[in-house]
Amino acid sequence: MFSVDGTEYTLKYNTKKVKTIETVTKTSIVGEITKNNGVMPYATLEALFSFALVEEASGSPVRQKTAAEMFEKVVQENGLISVNMAIVEKLQDDMAFMFR
């Protein structure tokens, strides 16, 4: 999904992570997605990225602080809208029940 310094990373969402992200951001993720045609605020995207980033090969979660630092690099390399869409697609894959 994302490559940083030669290492592949992906995002993994589950109900517990989404609850944590909603608590931290004080907003509904589905509400944010539907509010602006899927384009979410930068801080919300950073939280969605940093709480769900895992190393693809091992499945090991990346420390939230490290992932937050990586977010800026990923956005610079891929573009904010591309990262936004990748996060939304992964949420739809992992948490399909939220979008029915």
The label of the residue with tokens 């997605």 reads: 33
- Beta strand pairing call for 2-4 and 7-11: antiparallel
Q: How big is the CA angle at 38 (ends 34 and 41), to the nearest 5 degrees?
A: 100
The per-residue pLDDT string of the chain (100 residues; one tens digit each, 9 = 90 and over) reads 899 999 999 999 999 999 999 999 999 999 999 998 889 999 999 999 999 999 999 999 999 999 999 999 999 999 999 999 999 999 999 999 998 8
pTM of the full structure? 0.93
Residue 93 has a CB neighbour count (10 Å cut-off) of 11
